[in-house]
Amino acid sequence: MSRRFVMVPGIGGSGPEHWQSHWETFYPNTLRIEPNSRDKPDLADWFAALDRAVAAARYPPVLVCHSLGCLLFAHWRAASSRAIAAAFLVAVPDPSGPAFPAQAKAFGALPATGFGERPVLAVASENDPYDPTASGIAWAARQGAWPRRLGPRGHLNEASNLGAWPEGQELLADFLDEIGE
């Protein structure tokens, strides 16, 4: 795939063993958002970082979001007119769930404007501690995302021991083929 991707990690960024980090080495022309408040998320800072990354893309990029990055995408999509090709949301958290981090509270005031015209695929695990009742993926579906539930995989992060997450690469490739990207 030669399309430019923008990786949108959650709190703390994605460590070296996170699938997003692996994907950056597999897919050329990939950017990662670089907010100054990676560990103590500030919505305005993260929003600006995502906007900079999308603006830097030569063509409308595919956003590959994980966890809090999915909620950032919702806020950004509601306010930005910048073009994207599609969004791939993984492990959308439930901001009202018991594990949602207090320091990310501002991200939880979710817009209800929908995701717009561009295609969005939301992927979730059956046993994600950040979305224990599947409220996060249900919300994403109401916003226009195509929901895809996987079996028990945890939070689909580094702790899930997914490595390069071949299953996720296949899901992304199939999604992009389906939408003609």
pLDDT tens per residue, range 142-174? 999 999 999 999 999 988 989 999 999 999 999
C-alpha span between 94 and 68 (Å, rounded): 10
Number of domains comprising the chain: 1
Do 89 and 127 touch, CB atoms closer than 8 A? no
The strand order across the sheet containing 62-66 reads 30-32, 5-8, 62-66, 86-90, 120-124, 146-149
Residue 1's pLDDT band, with cuts at 50, 70 and 90, is very low
Specify the CATH number for the domain of residue 156: 3.40.50.1820
Q: What is the pTM of this model?
A: 0.95
- Provide mean pLDDT across the span 74-80: 96
User: For residue 67, what are the domain limits?
Assistant: 5-179
The rounded mean pLDDT for the chain is: 93
